[in-house]
């Protein structure tokens, strides 16, 4: 099983970045700076999405998360999976939480992935990971 940003969304980001880049050439210097910066940001996000495919993979041994610095492998026995929900200024967001800390003195690792990273709601991904881990008798899950 694997999850990543939708390919269509990545293509739209790249296309919008290119269009903004072309438009930036036609603007005055300040507009060129602002619109050119937005173009670079969109192209960078599209490149990040493309490079980090798949963002999250799960198998019998555990999960693997691709980051800009490499792939982080998290084995099932050390992994706790949950969904973190936050509300800020009336906006609710949910994140998939992958935690390897076993106790208060364990430094462990915490990885948070959103819907955009996964291409699916974090609750669905958490349920799929729970099903996969329970088939192998591994993993700890928070409600």
Spell out the domain ranges in the chain. 2-51, 56-141
Mean pLDDT for the stretch of residues 37-41? 97
Rounded percentage of the chain residues whose pLDDT exceeds 90: 72
The pLDDT tens digits for 87-122 are 999 999 999 999 887 656 667 889 999 999 999 999
Rounded percentage of the chain residues whose pLDDT exceeds 70: 91
Concatenate the DSSP letters of all residues of 56-84 into one string. Answer: EEEETTEEEEEETTEEEEEEGGG-EEEEE
Mean pLDDT for the stretch of residues 14-27? 96
Higher per-residue confidence, 104 vs 54: 54
pLDDT of residue 50: 94
Tell me: pLDDT of 132 over 70: yes
Does residue 99 sit in helix, strand or coil?
Answer: strand
pLDDT of residue 143: 44
56, with CB counted inside 10 A (0-12, 13-18, 19+), is buried
Mean pLDDT for the stretch of residues 50-55? 94
User: For residue 135, what are the contacts with CB-CB under 8 A and spacing of at least 6?
Assistant: none
| Phi then psi dihedrals of residue 88, to 5 deg | -145, 125
The pLDDT tens digits for 73-88 are 998 888 889 999 989 9
Predicted confidence band of residue 60 (pLDDT cuts 50, 70, 90): confident
Higher per-residue confidence, 80 vs 11: 11
* Strand (E) or helix (H) holding 7: helix 7-25
């Amino acid at each position: 099983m694997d999850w990543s940003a939708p390919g269509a969304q990545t293509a739209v980001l790249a296309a919008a970045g290119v269009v903004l880049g072309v438009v930036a050439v036609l603007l005055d210097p300040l507009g060129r700076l602002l619109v050119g910066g937005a173009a670079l940001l969109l192209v960078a996000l599209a490149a990040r999405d493309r490079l980090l495919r798949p963002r999250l993979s799960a198998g019998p041994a555990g999960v693997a998360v691709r980051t800009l610095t490499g792939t982080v492998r998290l084995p099932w026995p050390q992994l706790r999976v949950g969904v973190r929900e936050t509300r800020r200024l009336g906006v609710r967001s949910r994140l998939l939480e992958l935690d390897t800390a076993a106790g208060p003195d364990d430094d462990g690792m915490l990885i948070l992935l959103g819907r955009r990273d996964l291409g699916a709601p974090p609750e669905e991904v958490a349920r799929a990971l729970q099903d996969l881990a329970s088939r192998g008798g591994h993993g700890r899950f928070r409600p």
